[in-house]
Amino acid sequence: MRGCYAGGELVTISRIHDAATYVLSDGRTIRLAGVLAQGITTCAGKQALQLVNGIVAVGQQVNLVRDPGAGTDPFGSQWAYLQAGYAQDVGSTLATAGYADLYAESGANASYLQAIAPAIRMAQQLHTGQFGPPCGPALERPQPLVTNDSNRTYLRNQDNEPDPPKRRTGRSGHPCLPGERDGDGDGYCKEGR
């Protein structure tokens, strides 16, 4: 991420509107370039704001970097990158944690977008942040395991697959006839007699 920044200015945060929108002490409003975070009225927006509050605090000085010609969003907020702490990029942190979508129309440079895109895809695959519970879609429940003997464990089969083979006791017996009871479930009756 260091290659995306050239210089910048030291600014003070006076208010954090949501995970991607910040008001500076000089009155400017900044939106994070390259990422789109959900609003604070959503589950993922609240969790993203908690994450940001662990990185950036009101009254803290951060490094603000703007790409030449980045412009502003429809509400007049300037597109910019924020670095807090030891060069920790706030937008990249949101993307890695799964609380941001890629937003190319935000004035971010191509290098930055290429750097954070894999982090967003990984968060989607891992179902983290807004891409998984409790805010995103529920994960599929794994099928319960069925153990038939001490040497083999089978995954419960889907409807179109046959059941795992039944364990045989190795004792002599005959196939169960109608009305006979199969005590161990292997398809043979009167074993061990």
Query: H or E element: which one contains 24?
Result: strand 21-24
Tell the CATH topology of 2-131: OB fold (Dihydrolipoamide Acetyltransferase, E2P) (2.40.50)
Q: Quickly tell me which residue has 């995103």 as its tokens.
A: 136
Distance CA 102, CA 83 (A): 18
Q: Are 24 and 73 in contact (CB under 8 A)?
A: no
pLDDT per residue as tens, the chain (193 positions): 443 455 789 999 999 999 999 999 999 999 999 999 999 999 999 999 999 999 999 999 999 998 887 889 989 999 999 999 776 899 999 999 999 999 988 878 889 999 999 999 999 999 999 998 888 777 665 555 555 555 555 555 555 555 555 555 555 556 677 767 777 766 667 665 5
Q: Which residue spans of the chain are classified as CATH 2.40.50.90?
A: 2-131
Alpha helices in 37-159 (DSSP H): 43-53, 90-97, 110-126
